[in-house]
Structure 1
Amino acid sequence: MKRVYLVGYMGSGKSAIGKRLSFATKLPFYDMDTEIERKMGMSIPRIFELYGEAYFRELETEFLRNFRDEYCIIATGGGVAMRKENREIMRRTGLVFFLNAPFRDIWRRIATDKNRPIVQRSSKTELEKLYYDRKPYYLRAGHFKVETERRSLLDITTYIVFQMNRLRGDD
């Protein structure tokens, strides 16, 4: 296992958990959206505005294909698991953890987030439909489904570290 990928809907806790996993395991942490923003020299909303969503999705796939070969934690974008190629790359190059958060928790976190283009142009109903449309892809991508409801960030992090160590053969 080279990498640990965190997949799930926007606002499911991928970045928050990723940072904690990095601290707990001493592995570097990368947020895919942040890395794409750095490479492009602009924000995700600006990329969407100038180039559209299809272009952004291609940048995500390019990231997975070409990212440096190292042991690390990667918080993926919310739409990454939609592409079959992305799911295959992640499953082949690392362990994939699907952070399964209920929509009501997610809505509380994303409703006012100005850095999420899809949130800005969609209604709550549309976002909830997208959540349910994407869920089967997260399930296909993940080696593990991590239930986040009523679990602290520490509990979730501890569980993922346990699984990482178990599969590496550590006690």
Structure 2
Amino acid sequence: MKRIYLVGFMGCGKSAIGKRLHTLTGIPFFDMDHEISEQMQMTIPEIFDQYGELYFRQLETEFLEKFPEEYCIVATGGGVAVKEENIQLMRESGIVFFLNASFRDIWRRISTDVNRPIVQQSSRQELEALYKKRKPKYLHSAHFTVETTGKSLTDIAEYIIFQIERYQ
């Protein structure tokens, strides 16, 4: 068994679903943003403010290249699938699940989140345009697309577990 990667736009439920998968399977769970934040001893907004988005994207690539855990669940950052290098790293080292949520659902979850630098710097229209721009990348990166709208965390996690078992 390889890593299980959860990709998708910010607010699509990667961390929540990753935690539920961990609860149901016992497979170790890691949140990429949390791990990078711990490594840098800074919040994600502080990293963006001090070093910029390109630096943060490089930290994501380094995480994928160097993270020591092999058998685990990883909730990726919302922009990790933008780089082709990251897509290759994920597809070669694991199974990639795109958590597809509607922008309406995502906006409801992220619109007031002060820990998301891109949300704080963008209008709803700009974020929706970014969502539409990134969606083809998420689809390209994924072995499986998981429709999340109207489904519980447990339903989504059980579907992912079913696909993992079939994939092995």
TM-score bracket, normalised by the shorter chain, equals over 0.9
Aligned to 2:62: 62
Displacement of 1:160 in angstroms is: 0.2
CA distance in 2, matches of 1:36, 1:104: 28
Structure 2 unpaired stretches of 5+: none
Tell me the equivalent position of 2:49: 49
Q: Distance in 2 between matches of 1:91 and 1:70?
A: 13
Query: 1:74-111: CA deviations, max 9, x gaps?
Result: 00000000000000000000000000000000000000
- Is 1:162 paired with 2:162? yes
Q: How does 1:11-160 map to 2 (within 5 A)?
A: 11-160=11-160
**Percent identity between the aligned chains?**
65
Q: Which runs of 5+ in 1 are unaligned?
A: none
CA drift at 1:165: 1.3
Amino acid at match of 2:141: A
- The structure 1 segments of at least 4 consecutive aligned residues displaced by more than 4 Å after TM superposition are none
Please report the RMSD computed on the Cα atoms of aligned residues, expressed in angstroms.
0.6
**Offset of 1:136 from its aligned partner?**
0.3
Q: What code does the residue aligned with 2:125 have? A: T
> Using the alignment, how far apart are the partners of 1:107 and 1:136 within structure 2?
19
Query: Match of 1:30, SS?
Result: strand
User: How many aligned positions are there?
Assistant: 168
Report the Cα distance in structure 2 between the residues aligned to 1:81 and 1:19, rounded to whole angstroms: 21
- Normalising by structure 1, we get a TM-score of 0.97
